[in-house]
Amino acid sequence: MAPKKAAPKRTTRLNPGATSNPNQAPSTTTTTVTNAQLQAMIDQEESDRVERYIGGLPDIIHGSVAALKPKTMQEATEMVTGLMDKKIRTYAERQASVV
C-alpha cells in the first residue's frame, strides 16, 4: 500500500472587493447601501424644504398646494407659480370690472 499524499496547501489571494468573512458582503455592496442611505437623506432634506416652502404660502394657495403633495421643490414652485398667476389674473379682472 502506497503512502497517502498530503493535500496541497491552498493559498487564497483576496481581491480588493472580497472579504475574508464569507458571511460579510463585499465592499461594493456596502458602498451601494451607503449610497442608498445618502439618497434617502437627500430625499428627506428635499421633502423638508418643500414642507417649509408650502408652510410659508398664503392660506388661499397653501391648501391647494398641500393637497397636491409635491415631492420636489421644482414641482412645488411650478404649482405655486400657476396658482399665483391665476390669483393675480382674477384680481385684475375684478378690478377692471369695478372701474
Domain contains 20: no
Domain contains 59: yes
- Burial state string for 58-71 with b = 16 or more CB within 10 A and e = fewer than 16: eeebeeebbeeebe
| Structural domain harbouring 51 | 32-98
Tell me the per-residue pLDDT of 31-90, one tens digit each, with 9 for 90 and over.
566 788 878 888 888 989 999 999 999 898 899 999 989 999 999 999 999 999 999 999
Domain contains 8: no
Domain contains 3: no
Q: State how many domains the chain has.
A: 1
User: Could you give the CA distance from residue 2 to residue 42 in angstroms, rounded to a whole number?
Assistant: 69
Domain contains 43: yes
Residue type at position 79:
M
DSSP the chain: -PPPPPPPP---PPPTT--SSTTSPPHHHHHHHHHHHHHHHHHHHHHHHHHHHHHTS-HHHHHHHHHH--SSHHHHHHHHHHHHHHHHHHHHHHHHHH-
Tell me the per-residue pLDDT of 16-39, one tens digit each, with 9 for 90 and over.
555 566 666 655 555 566 788 878
